[in-house]
Amino acid sequence: MWLYSRSCSPQHRTCCVFSNLLIAGGGASSHSSSWSQAANMSKPLSDHDRKKQISVRGLAGVENVTDLKQNFNRHLHFTLVKDRNVATKRDYYFALAHTVRDHLVGRWIRTQQHYYEKDPKRVYYISLEFYMGRTLQNTMVNLALENACDEAMYQMGLDMEELEDMEEDAGLGNGGLGRLAACFLDSMASLGLAAYGYGIRYEFGIFNQKIVSGWQVEEADDWLRYGNPWEKARPEYMRPVHFYGRTEHNPDGVKWVDTQVVLALPYDTPVPGYRNNIVNTMRLWSAKAPCEFNLKDFNIGGYIQAVLDRNLAENISRVLYPNDNFFEGKELRLKQEYFVVSATLQDIIRRFKVSKFGSREIARTDFSKLPDKVAIQLNDTHPAMAIPELMRVLVDEEKLSWEKAWDICVRTCAYTNHTVLPEALERWPVDLFAHLLPRHLEIVYEINRRHLENVAAKFPGDVDRLRRMSLIEEGGQKRINMAHLCIVGSHAVNGVAQIHSDILKATVFKDFYEMEPHKFQNKTNGITPRRWLVMCNPGLAEVIAERIGEDFIRDLDQLKRLRDFASDDALIRDIAKVKQENKLKFAVHLEEHYKVKINPNSMFDVQVKRIHEYKRQLLNCLHIITYYNRIKREPNKQWTPRTVMIGGKAAPGYHTAKMIIRLITAIGEVVNHDPVIGDRLKVIFLENYRVTLAEKAIPAADLSEQISTAGTEASGTGNMKFMLNGALTIGTMDGANVEMAEEAGEDNLFIFGMRVDDVDALDKKGYHAEEYYNRLPELKQAIDQIAGGFFSPKQADLFKEIVNMLMHHDRYIKI
């Protein structure tokens, strides 16, 4: 149940890798536009640089290298005010970034002009997180500039990879939810959809993780300290956002008065599609205090303090909350959620009303057409305030009737649910709402009153159902259930994998499904192959293109054509060669950054994701210890060498997750220095896992660990990234693993463990860890070693809390 060790010969691994490429192309397009929209690769190998493959057949051929060099020097001189004598590597990166951005600008302006002329329905993807990573290389790939830029830099004596490494990650997300948003923006631009991403321009993104004496330490991610060459401030579109105050009910309507105003300053980042001349926009809002902020203090002589207090308003966009799958009900977080929603809706309505590009004249006032021209997608419940805010705008400001406004609101909004974990669901205290957003509380109560009338009409006499379905949770502190608000106020509700969507309908939102089954659907998450194949693994992309051409870049279903080469020894050999090159490159990176020398011929066994009990890094630890003990017992046996890499960040306030990191590092300290083990087993914790590190680790992986308890991982997207790059998957039937197994056939994945029904049955029966502990000697030995201080000799009881949790109150059935 808990052990999942499999020996796997190199030959078997290569064949399975090939089957995974077939899987990635099989039927995935029905699940998600992100998965199915493909990328492009541009560059042949430069004669001067064989270490970096940057082509898929043929020259990029879209830019004159001489022009690029001239533009580069122009930016170095005029934009950065430097010459080659004093310029730093970072200056060269900025000069190159500005040179590449120049190629976006004309397309960007023309794209927006085109949207105004054609007036298509626009998609507004509102998310509190956009985990973008780096921009330079992705932009060069999508514009087919990589080859020309590389050649230009070479001729100027500069190393392209070194310049790319100067770019800061835009880490404005925690994990899957934020990275999904980034992938969707890329896919929508490549599809030519009139789409906009709206979020917050956090001054500090997800913290940088340092491992000090085995413990996670958080450092602020000051990603903007050197400036961001990709963004353009748009102060002309600054919008006021109101907080606090009170409501006045008059015969001519309701007014929200005596509010505190914070200004939302937009910063636009271009989002290029793949070679289609489309450049969409991601607009991130930054909080600014108005000039008259705390003006009353000026008048009583507190000028200095009044200026200093401006920081209070501007704190709204200061920092990303570092929680993944956990709700922290802080006032600042609710402020962030309303801030992005209010500014975005003002922008959406402004754009809806005007007709000509650059015009401010109102040309459209009939809001009944809003759902035909606007689609608002809520990425989880974080932007749920869009529903009461849209109602406030339509009813209070535009003077529509409630009934008409509600019809428009529901037809315009749609909601994506990302988790079934109860601790992750947002439930805001009514008292906080009343204080911060008094008008919105009134609107939520009215939405709830009408909603419960509908429930009572459909299910007369079912009082308990009314309680369960209410937007307001009674008992103790009154709370607003934001997921319920999203379901009631949207026309579509989706989960992010089929099994997740089924669980929502059967359990968490069962009452709502019975009330309005037509709202519920599935949209399995996806990934953009531009970044996750072409950009991060150009060698593999080129091998594929040599066999089936480059159409798969636009249509990933084309990978099915590789089936014709299933017995082609040359292809299998080429794929194995690329994998080995990726492993060698990553081994060098690990030695440089982690001071650990590893065997590049070992199996790279990788589990990278946020540290959380349900993701079961602890199960991986138990397996590592058992594998270690087996080698120690039979040191002369032939063992497949294995390098286990675990990476991910723990939320700063999540004590158990931090203890899990400490256990992983402790196991590594013992295993990596045991002379009996040698290079047959190494354990490495990948510090500061982020998008850029994923782009290095995933192409090098042999084995992808996707081992969450069945029914807990909504989808996962790392599972897809590993598979697209030819790694084998070992995992449970959870999230998107289920659909991956359906596409591939279970025999092409290492599936183990309980299914959802088994977990439910065990929960009902009662789970007793001692039964397994007493029955399985290897498990008992592993637990005893953790409990007895084998991995913490200086503090024998260091991991007693973990052992106690595993043995007595384990929610996720790790043993």
Catalytic residues: 418, 609-610, 615, 717, 721
Q: CA separation (Å) from 704 to 329, 613, 707, 772?
A: 34, 18, 9, 26
- The partner residues of 286 in beta bridges, in order of sequence, read 265
Can you tell me the distance from the alpha carbon of 729 to that of 606, in angstroms, rounded to the nearest whole number? 10
| CA quadruple 519, 525, 530, 535: dihedral, nearest 10 | 160
- The partner residues of 566 in beta bridges, in order of sequence, read none
Helix (H) or strand (E) holding 172: strand 170-172
Q: Determine the distance from the C-alpha atom of residue 27 to the mean position of all C-alpha atoms in its chain, rounded to a whole number.
A: 23
- CB under 8 Å to 780, separation ≥6 — which residues? 773, 774
What six digits make up the tokens of 719?
């599972």
Can you tell me the distance from the alpha carbon of 715 to that of 736, in angstroms, rounded to the nearest whole number? 5
Can you tell me the distance from the alpha carbon of 230 to that of 170, in angstroms, rounded to the nearest whole number? 11
Sequence-distant contacts of 798-802: CB under 8 A, at least 24 apart: 798/662, 798/666, 799/659, 799/662, 799/663, 799/666, 801/656, 801/659, 802/618, 802/656, 802/659, 802/660, 802/663
Q: Which of 754, 750, 759, 718 is nearest to 736 (CA)?
A: 718
Can you tell me the distance from the alpha carbon of 24 to that of 235, in angstroms, rounded to the nearest whole number? 44
Can you tell me the distance from the alpha carbon of 292 to that of 438, in angstroms, rounded to the nearest whole number? 23
Diameter over CA atoms, the chain: 89
In 3-state terms, what secondary structure has residue 120? coil
Q: Which residue has the tokens 């399985």?
A: 776
Q: Determine the distance from the C-alpha atom of residue 441 to the mean position of all C-alpha atoms in its chain, rounded to a whole number.
A: 31
